[in-house]
Amino acid sequence: MSTRSRGTSAYSEFLRHIKKSEISSDNPSSTSPNRPFIPYPALSAYLMNDQIRGLLDYCAQSTVDCATIRQGYLLVFAIILSINQGAYLPYFLQSDELADEHLPFTHSQNWPEPCTQIFEQFFKAQWRFCAFKLRKSRLNDTQIQDECIVPIVKKVGLKDGGISSTYRVDIHPAYNLLFHRQDEAESSPTSTFVLKTCHETHSTYHHNEVHAYKALNNHGGPLNNIVVFHGSWISHGTYNMLLEYVDGGTLTEFLKSTEPPTRVEDIVDFWSSLLDLIKPLIRMHNLETVSSTQQSLQCIHNDIKPDNVLVSPGRTSYQPVFKLADMGLTTLEEKKNVKDASSRDAQGTSMYSSPECFRIGTFLEESLLKEKPSKDIYALGCVYSEAAVWTVLGTKGLEDYRVLRTQETDNIPGLRRTAYSGCFHNGSETLGAVGTMHIRIREERRRHDLIIEPVLEIIEYMLEQEAFRPNAAEIQRRIERAIQTARSRLRQGALEVNDQSFPEAFRISSELSSPRMLPELLPSGVGLGVDYHPSRRHSRSISQMLVDAKSTDLERDWYSYANTASDIARSSRIHHTHQVNDDASQERFEGIEGGSSWDKDPQNIQDKAPNLSIDELLQWIDDKKMRKPRSVLASAELLNRLDERDQIFLIDDSASMSPHWEAVKKAFTALVYLAKFYGPDEIELQFANCRKSSCDQHRKKSLKVLNGVKPQGQCNMALALQHILERYHPEALGNCGKHRIFRKRKKKSGVNITVLTDAASWKDGKDGICGVSTPIKDILEKYNEHRIATNRIAIQFVQFGNDLKGSEMLERLTTRPEEFGIAGGIVDTTPNSGNVSKMLLGAFDPAWNLK
């Protein structure tokens, strides 16, 4: 075969090969869909030396070195052949600026003069050989020529919204340079991505999202719980963004298609994964800059909801990675501007909005409202709340939850038949429906669920009113403690159970002697800092039923030790059941302390209760710390009731207390040890004179405050009590966000105020007991007026010394409260030498009534 014939045959074969190798791009942004391109690997694998020599023969360029073409001009060679202009090849090979690496060519300024004649042909033909390469860190709203082909080989529509459209796309692997690779032979981890597109009329949303992703990446690199942003470009008047494809669907879909976890390990794993969603918010809400001259940035997502949480499958169904997505409504600004921000609040999905972002009507909708990161905290709390329902009650429970919220919002004229129907608030505070469902979760949880209680407490902190909502970092600290505690108990085998042991019907509620009857709907705000007591008598309270595994050892030790201790005389008092005017009120409030089914015969209960003095308890605590041998205690159901109430200690620091001050410190140390152990919330410490105070979860901090106070002067105990009790007035109860006491301590049936005093320096008052009865009488009258059970308030006096006048006043207040218009059964007195159990329980526990 002649050289000419061989060349012609090679050229025909070349044309057939590139036609066969064409792949149609499926770029949704292109005005000319299905444009074909020839992948470089298909071309490179074909154009080996033999094929190149035959084609050079066809071009009459047999003197050209094949290696030159393969090493730098393979694409140029193919383009010239495709337009049948091989005679111009030598001119290209003479110029390094016309090598493959400079393709595509957009002008002919540097072209050799003879070659300019074929520029138009070359320009049009080059695009199918020069598909766009997606390079890491090179997609920065890059402007791509309309002629350029983006090598999307497959697309599947995911979401077609009014602002943007989302697709799952496959990028040809040869043009996927978005990952660091050790060498060219190494393949990328994936070539499947999400492409999000929008028209230039909605480019603001595109820029918001791009800026948010870049800001997050610039402050610590990619986060595992945010979808990865690979870059963006503009083409054909369309704004494009390439994101990580997460193939587990959305959280909404996950909750519908996945059975709730039943094994204790799976429950902990699920919450450990889902609670990680707080981590992106920590960075978003506080983007620190590396330069001292730059202001820190603040990024607010504005649209957190289950549909914007993606699920990346993990090792098991309950170990996925949950990723926050869709930054289209994100706002980003310098922190210096946040305080005086007047930028319009970006309105996300109303269903998961926070109360402070509520707006109905044209005026509010068009007004400039200051936005804060706390709105993201609330929205994520709503997501967590629904997830909590799902873990216990499944998809049916989720449906019930949404119906319950919708029923409540539809009873509010401003919310009915609006986008807010079924949201989590009433425009000012969290719905009662949320509290109702959280109660149901607590009662119906699986008995081996180690984590749902702390999770619910975290959620309720997140759903507080704006001023008192914790920031993301504070929530993360609580989450870490909850997960660490649950995993520690799991490792220790605190509960030896499995998913077969406790089917769905065998949850906590099935163990109760009679099922708890829930109200149809709690008032708004209830369960989130405000106490509420349903109209029906309850069975034994959950706090009594669910004894934390960590308390088992203490309880076992405590009672056995108490049984070996000497009997200590109890101070006596006469209790009178509080009066409620009508039968309905009586039905509403009876059993407010839980309606427990355990024996309430006073003598039986007191025989069972620990009977220890302060000194004996302190010795037991020291022995426990030193791990010395000690008697084993038995049964602590009574002390578990401390968890039902707020615990406040009020210490008389007047000069007359000086001789007793060391005894006061010892008593406080002992009492707060048990109060903190059985009531895991914060312990509050106040003084009658000194303005120092403490409200902390750690006993050591309270003890440090006490050690810094010296008794002096004369106190006004009536005024000190008034300052505490006024926070529990019905007006305060109706505004749960206003007072710290109600946002820090959840789900309490009342308050226990323990007053350590000698009553020797109380100022005289009109009531003959230094006016102390006045604030007590005042709040009880308010409670009766508002039909609130008076036994929410319990005041326990612990008397030091033997001051006759003081003892007389305390006896009158305790044994003859009706003289001062005070309901019986809410005030008690115990000497400092008396029984510790009575000091903690005597003022509110009817089991201590002595007759």
Tell me whether the omega of the peptide bond preceding residue 534 falls within 30 degrees of 0, making it cis: no
Q: What are the residues facing 430 on neighbouring strands? A: 425
Mean pLDDT on 734-743: 39
pTM exceeds 0.75: no
The confidence band for 824, taking pLDDT boundaries of 50, 70 and 90, is low
pLDDT for res 507? 42
b (16+ CB within 10 A) / e for 299-327: bbbbbbbbbbbbbbeeeebbebebbbbbb
pLDDT for res 366? 42
Q: What fold, for 251-333+346-511?
A: Transferase(Phosphotransferase); domain 1 (1.10.510)
Residues 442/456, Cβ–Cβ less than 8 Å: yes
Contacts for 73 with CB less than 8 Å, ≥ 6 apart: 92, 93, 99, 100
132 pLDDT higher than 90:
yes
Task: Tell me if 134-244 shares its fold with 251-333+346-511.
Answer: no
Question: For residues 206 and 161, what is the distance between their CA atoms, to the nearest angstrom?
Answer: 13
Which residue matches tokens 């030598």? 90
Of 105-119, 514-528, 621-635, where does mean pLDDT reach its minimum?
514-528
213 pLDDT higher than 50:
yes
Tell me what percent of the residues of the chain surpass a pLDDT of 70.
Answer: 74
Hey, which of 279-283, 444-448, 494-498 has the most confident mean pLDDT? 279-283
Higher pLDDT, 202 or 643: 202
Which residue matches tokens 């796309």? 169
Mean pLDDT on 196-201: 92
Of 210-214, 820-824, 826-830, where does mean pLDDT reach its minimum?
820-824
pLDDT for res 226? 94
Question: For residues 3 and 56, what is the distance between their CA atoms, to the nearest angstrom?
Answer: 10
Please report, for the chain, the start and end positions of each structural domain, with discontinuous segments joined by +.
3-25+35-129, 134-244, 251-333+346-511, 644-846
The confidence band for 319, taking pLDDT boundaries of 50, 70 and 90, is very high
Mean pLDDT on 125-152: 95
pLDDT digits (tens, 9 = 90+) for 325-367: 988 888 877 665 444 443 444 555 777 877 887 765 443 444 4
b (16+ CB within 10 A) / e for 172-188: bebbbbbeeeeeeeeee
Mean pLDDT on 408-416: 85
For the domain spanning 134-244, the CATH number is 3.30.200.20
pLDDT for res 36? 96
Nearest in space to 758 (alpha carbons), one of 720, 795, 799, 796: 799
What element of type H or E holds 777?
Answer: helix 773-785
Of 283-287, 312-316, 741-745, where does mean pLDDT reach its minimum?
741-745
Nearest in space to 387 (alpha carbons), one of 444, 312, 438: 438
pLDDT for res 166? 94
- Classified as helix, coil or strand, 674 is helix
281 pLDDT higher than 90:
yes
Nearest in space to 380 (alpha carbons), one of 424, 417, 418, 422: 424
Contacts for 680 with CB less than 8 Å, ≥ 6 apart: 643, 697
CA dihedral 304, 305, 307, 309 (to 10 degrees): 60
For residue 668, which amino acid is it? F
308 pLDDT higher than 80:
yes
- Which DSSP category does 764 fall into? P
Task: Name the class of domain 644-846.
Answer: alpha beta
CA dihedral 778, 780, 784, 787 (to 10 degrees): 120
Hey, which of 203-217, 276-290, 334-348 has the most confident mean pLDDT? 203-217
Ranges assigned E (strand) in 236-360: 238-244, 297-300, 309-312, 321-324, 331-334
Higher pLDDT, 516 or 483: 483
Ranges assigned E (strand) in 612-713: 645-651, 683-687, 694-696
Q: Which two tokens stand for residue 765?
A: 């008052």
pLDDT for res 667? 94
Residues 28/195, Cβ–Cβ less than 8 Å: yes
Mean pLDDT on 534-563: 36
Of 210-219, 294-303, 546-555, where does mean pLDDT reach its minimum?
546-555
Question: For residues 750 and 790, what is the distance between their CA atoms, to the nearest angstrom?
Answer: 9
Of 379-393, 548-562, 740-754, 832-846, where does mean pLDDT reach its minimum?
548-562
pLDDT for res 29? 83
Nearest in space to 273 (alpha carbons), one of 318, 237, 307, 308: 318
Please list the helix, strand and coil fractions of the chain in percent, rounded to the nearest 5, in that order.
45, 15, 40
For residue 407, which amino acid is it? Q
pLDDT for res 223? 84
pLDDT for res 806? 86
- Classified as helix, coil or strand, 602 is helix
Length of the chain, please?
851
Q: Which two tokens stand for residue 256?
A: 């519908």
The confidence band for 161, taking pLDDT boundaries of 50, 70 and 90, is confident
The confidence band for 282, taking pLDDT boundaries of 50, 70 and 90, is very high
The confidence band for 286, taking pLDDT boundaries of 50, 70 and 90, is confident
Starting at the earlier edge strand, list the strands of the sheet with 192-199. Answer: 140-143, 229-235, 238-244, 192-199, 165-171, 152-160
Nearest in space to 256 (alpha carbons), one of 202, 311, 198, 197: 311
pLDDT for res 738? 35
